[in-house]
A and B are shown apart, each in its own frame.
Chain A
Amino acid sequence: MRSIKLRKSLPVHTLLVLVGIAFLAPFAWMLLTSLKSLEEISTFPLTIWPEVFHWSNYKDVFDIIPFARYFLNTLLVTLASVVGQLFAAPLVAYSITKIEWSGRKWIFPIVIATMLLPFQVTMIPIYMIFKDMGLTGSYWPLIIPTFTGAPLYIFLLRQFFMSIPDAIIQAARIDGASESRIYVTMILPLCRPALAAVAIFTFLYTWSDFMGPLLYLNKADMYTLTLGLQAFLAEHYTEWGLLMAASALFTLPLIIMFFFAQKQFIEGITLTGIKG
């Protein structure tokens, strides 16, 4: 029985492994290039494995771009955004799923509609708002909007809240608990997995966001990693080896996070796609 099953699944495995190699190869190439010397990168024909491991590329990245500074800047914006979304998105989702009020019917369709709205439409006026408030050039324009809840996360949490039976909330209400109490002590702990997904998504999105920092940050010492990477790229005399080392360093925190939070991750993505 077993061998039949294996024989049957062998072609599928072969295919999956081949695709897997194709998916991992670019990664490997990034790491290998990041360890090659200036000369080796431009030799022809190409070498796959570095002749000598040039760890100095990584050191040079730290020397040339203030990596630690950009890292902290990015972390700051990212964590603040995570806090923002965790604060706002579940509140709104709770309001439209578990509180019976007349506005709830209106909000959800609007949330969905704003998901379809290209951000370019609102980009310039939002920019002008922050400019008039004198906040361009600071991190505020990147952070403030997150405290209003992104449509995608409201949507995701709504999906999750729908699965929480109304009965337990009703029971608590009958016991005389206030809505805020129910929300804080009952609902939030219950939807921890969904909140984790929101946190992870926000982290990922903000960590790699390019447009926001591009619009709002001016000064080199306030740059986030994406902007730093772009500035590094646009400068003269930056070799491919260094660029690959910088990219690898930029990606590393996300990969680490992914391995720690894989489960929530997959669940979260699944939640956004299902029962649409």
Chain B
Amino acid sequence: MAQAHAAHDGSHGSYSSYLIGFVLAVILTVASFAAVMTHALSPGMALAALTVLAVVQIVVHLVFFLHLNTSSEQSWNLMCFIFAAASVIVIIGGTIFIMHDTAINMMSR
């Protein structure tokens, strides 16, 4: 078993893949903080930048740290993740949409 593990490190990452993921994550995190702390962008633009950077960083973490990929061995994991992500988007998007409309109709803001 031991030699099988050592030989087959494709789905478990390697020092270089962890380091690449780490460097990408650091760059994206610094970009997020810079987008807000430098006040270079308008609040709307900064929020859009934060969203894009967060999504990209989540993908980086999934690929380099959680080793999620499109190989057949991972297809069920990927399928479940896509379903969960879709559910989360519906929950958050739907909640914001409905509660925003309610707030406007009730003139509560």
Q: A and B: real partners?
A: no
Interface residues of A (CB under 8 A from B): none
